[in-house]
Amino acid sequence: MAATVASGLQMATVRPCISSSHMVVKAGAAILGTDFKGASGSKLTSACHIPSIQPIWRSFTSSVKPSKIVTEAMSESSECRTVSGLPIDLRGKRAFIAGVADDNGYGWAIAKSLAAAGAEILVGTWVPALNIFETSLRRGKFDESRVLPDGSLMEITKVYPLDAVYDNPEDVPEDVKTNKRYAGSSNWTVQQAAESVKQDFGSIDILVHSLANGPEVIKPLLETSRKGYLAALSASSYSYVSLLQNFIPIMNPGGSSISLTYIASERIIPGYGGGMSSAKAALESDTRVLAFEAGRKHKIRVNTISAGPLRSRAAKAIGFIDTMIEYSIANAPLQKELSADEVGNTAAFLVSPLASAITGAVIYVDNGLNAMGVGVDSPIFKDLNIPTGKH
């Protein structure tokens, strides 16, 4: 039976063409479009070539495999045409994304969506991974992943070394300072990174926290050490507090910040241990408090995205990510594998003026799995004739 969702906000807009003064063409106004019946979203097309108004949401049939939600963007160099839809326009905005070290995680996807909407991209990369990341960028290994809707490549203006476990140089223990993995890098504590960005660019508009680490994540909570538990909280939740503390002074009023959380903060996920579930719960609680404080004092919005399972390099370290993805497909209301782009597009919306009244919120991007109270793939439900989509 087809479930139909009414078309969302639609607005015909006209964007003047602007000749790029930069060496690299950057993406401009972005539009979120969903087409569950159309071609695969893996190939992104320019919004300047959209023949008709595209609603934010279209109907879908449970027996049809939904395609990916994609961000469609208008390049500054595109031909002047009327663009249909509701634009996400981040031109003139600058984003700092903490926690990008490869091209297949949520941090990278968020960077791409923000770039497609016109934002300038700065990233903070974990120091031990910095050399490999920068080398891969320079040698073009990420070029396929950098392609934006208009065909240009996402440009990362600058990559900063960052270890968000340390707030300032005084916090860094001697064994870390002398560790060869940190050799050759400097100014990588949170305080120093913020100071470097201020010196280089003056200010930012968007701050993204896309990092987490639990050294004992594979251990049950009853077997987790105090050191492991506190390390998970330090890297995965307090690091966000620290980022905001140090970057808010250089954020323009009206700016926005987002982080990434997980349903384990409020539901039991066996195997996601080592204090990581506690760290995500703390992150969500902190999001509400930070939204109040940052909103009242600095006019900054603070939200977090609860993303479903993704087959990223970091997630593979847990050891059962494939099982979690299969479970999600079998039990979520939308029976499809979540794509990183869907989280990236949500982030682009949340940091845009379209979400100007949203702060202190946990936004679920998990195909609806968070709404389920039971796993419907259980044999006890075999006689209920529960609809099952092909995937």
Paired with 72 in beta bridges are 31
**Residue 237 is a catalytic residue:** yes
Strands 70-75, 2-3: pairing kind: unpaired
Catalytic one of 280, 306, 336, 352 = 280
- Rounded to 5°, the CA angle 76-81-85 comes to 90
Paired with 358 in beta bridges are none
What angle, 0 to 180 degrees and rounded to 10, lies between the N-to-C axes of helices 226-233 and 276-298? 30
Alpha-carbon radius of gyration of the chain? 21
CB 3 within 8 A of CB 62: yes
Paired with 384 in beta bridges are none
**Helix or strand holding residue 112 (H, E):** helix 106-116
DSSP string for 38-49: SS-TTS---GGG
Report the C-alpha gap between 344 and 104 in whole angstroms.
12
CB 20 within 8 A of CB 77: yes
SS3 121: strand
**Residue 46 is a catalytic residue:** no
Residue indicated by tokens 């995680």: 105
Catalytic one of 75, 236, 237, 256 = 237
Residue 331 CA neighbour count, 13 Å, CB half: 20
Which residues are part of the catalytic machinery?
A: 237, 280
